[in-house]
Chains A and B, each alone.
Chain A
Amino acid sequence: MDTTTLAVPPVAQAKSVSPTWRRFRDAFRRHPTALIGGAILIGMVGMAIFAPWLGTIDPQAVSPIKRLRAPSAAFWFGTDMLGRDVYSRVVYGARVSLVVGLAVAMLSILVGLAIGLVTGYVRRLDAVVMRIMDGLMSIPSVLLAIALMALTKASIGNVIAAITLAEVPRVVRLVRSLVLTLREQPYVEAAIAAGTTLPRILVRHILPNIVAPLLVQGTYVCGSAMITEAILSFIGAGTPPNIPSWGNIMAEGRSMVQIASYLILFPGICLSLTVLAVNLLGDGMRDALDPRLARRM
């Protein structure tokens, strides 16, 4: 007999905090890196929200006399070729990355969830929808986003839409595979036998079991979306140039890299730190949800 099944925690303890949350809490205790990730992320969110009060000036204010100044007490991160303050631009740039990351994560999870739930349950739709998803997944996501951006006007909304479209198929695959396993579970069969309607089964029995893995997937989508946004902006197919984003700042510093490397380094470090924070958080959550996998990855 498997000994682990005997070692269930006492019921009284389980009542106080839900098991999922306890697992999260324990995992964070075991993985200090996830805590570090969370701390960095909170710092970045704070920076984005309170950008106007962090000693910044107008990130678009041009001052040709002061162009290409190296980092100093007056200009912490230096100035770019138009004399704009790079520190202010980097601080405001956090807004773009975080908004895009968060929006793409939420949208692709919602859309992926809707499509995945239906295809997992309606056999007739399944074959058609999954072939379309296979096709979409065969286009490298950056390329798909590039194609969409080439056909629409540059705006943050369009960037979010383009990256979401590229991320949705992966979420659909995950949701569908979870649904296909869950629908064979005895409690779902019992619910069907008891005459529960399909929408109620999906909402009451399937959905609660998908939320946790989706949350983990959401953090990875968020990190990958932030990188894709920066790539798109960097190659001129992303956020319009009048909005400072980390990718834009780096794109503008591209030709200056040998004389003004700070134009590339400061936004680059911020971007890498933020993505690292999101990934660490995701790893911590994944370990919390699947202790077996935690030992391997």
Chain B
Amino acid sequence: MIAYIVRRLLSTIIVMAVVAFVVFSLLYLTPGDPAAVIAGDIATDEDIRLIHARLGLDEPFLVQFGRWLWALFHGDLGTSIFTNLPVTQLIGQRIEPTVALTLCTLVVAILVAVPLGVVAAAKAGTWLDRAVMSFSVLGFSVPVFVFAYILILTFSVQLDWLPVQGYRNFRDGVWEWLRHLILPSVALGTVYVALIARMTRASMLDVLAQDYIRTASAKGLAPGQVLIGHALKNAAIPVVTIIGMGVALLISGAIVTETVFALPGIGRLTVDAILRRDYPIIQGVILIFSAVYVLVNLLVDLSYVFFDPRIRY
């Protein structure tokens, strides 16, 4: 077990090193002069030279990469070109709404999707099953921001039940905080629910065909007990895996959702950084999001032992 964890941690470090290298080398690999693109159309040669110096484009690639990596190990993600503030500080200021939004969505989506998938598998072939599957195809096809606007137009503009956009701090009252998160979470969570429900159903169908399920039913266990106690636990590994992989969807979706609902989170920071061509911020955001994604999937891998005690690493 310990040997496995160590091996898995090592491969995580390699993956993160590749991520860091890719994110850094994009500055050099993209055609043209990135400094000229960042400086914009009305920049003088002096401006471009300044950005060259700031990004270290004048020095050899490996020297720069080494220096950047060294700073990274000390928790320094560089400074924003536009505001001159440390990227870590900018991200720190914006992290609360993003964490609130993604965690809310994650929890609610799992609580909705897994029962949906279980019910669809238990009632396979019925209208209920078809409804869940149709919903899942739709969930994959309607982009998050289109769905977000449909929600806003229905529940905020027409019915006036929920705020159109904006964010309230958790400290300013739980109800107001929650009210501002409902629509963004539903918009962001739909594709995630579709993904998890689909996988839960497929995995449950596989397990429900096993002999031990028939045995469990034959010895007189209640259908619910068979479904949850015997089937779901054995169907859990593919479901947990897809939950981990789906975090990528959550992260990409959060950027768009924050734009639609004007949530002052990391997504907004990223979009503002795109408009200002503030590459150090984009670099920092990608590194942090990718690290979260890699760590979540590491936890998923380690959780297999819990779901299937036969797995010994």
Contact = CB atoms under 8 A, between A and B. Distances in A.
A234 B270 CA distance: 13
B153 interface: yes
Given A142-B255, A235-B256, A147 B15 contact: no
Residue of A149, A150, A230, A231 ringed by the most chain B CB atoms within 10 A: A150
B299 interface: no
Contacts of A131: 14-15, 18
A283 B206 CA distance: 19
Nearest to A136: B22
Interface residues of B, number: 60
A279 interface: yes
Interface size classification for chain A: 35 or more
Interface stretch (A107-115, A174-182, A268-276): A268-276
Interface in B182-205: 198, 201-202, 205
A254 B148 CA distance: 12
A276 B134 CA distance: 11
Contacts of A295: 205
A96 to B, nearest CB: 14
Contacts of B86: none
Chain A interface main SS type: helix
Contacts of A296: 201-202, 205-206
Contacts of A257: 149, 152-153, 157
Interface in B201-220: 201-202, 205-206
Interface of B: 14-19, 21-23, 26-27, 30-32, 34, 37-38, 137-138, 140-146, 149-150, 152-153, 157, 164, 198, 201-202, 205-206, 248-249, 251-252, 255-256, 259-260, 270-271, 273-275, 277, 279, 282-283, 285-286, 289-290, 293-294
10 contacts: A134-B14, A134-B15, A138-B18, A138-B293, A143-B255, A147-B283, A231-B252, A234-B259, A236-B275, A272-B142
Shortest Cβ-Cβ A-B pairs, 7 listed:
A135-B18, A142-B252, A268-B146, A276-B141, A140-B248, A151-B30, A272-B142
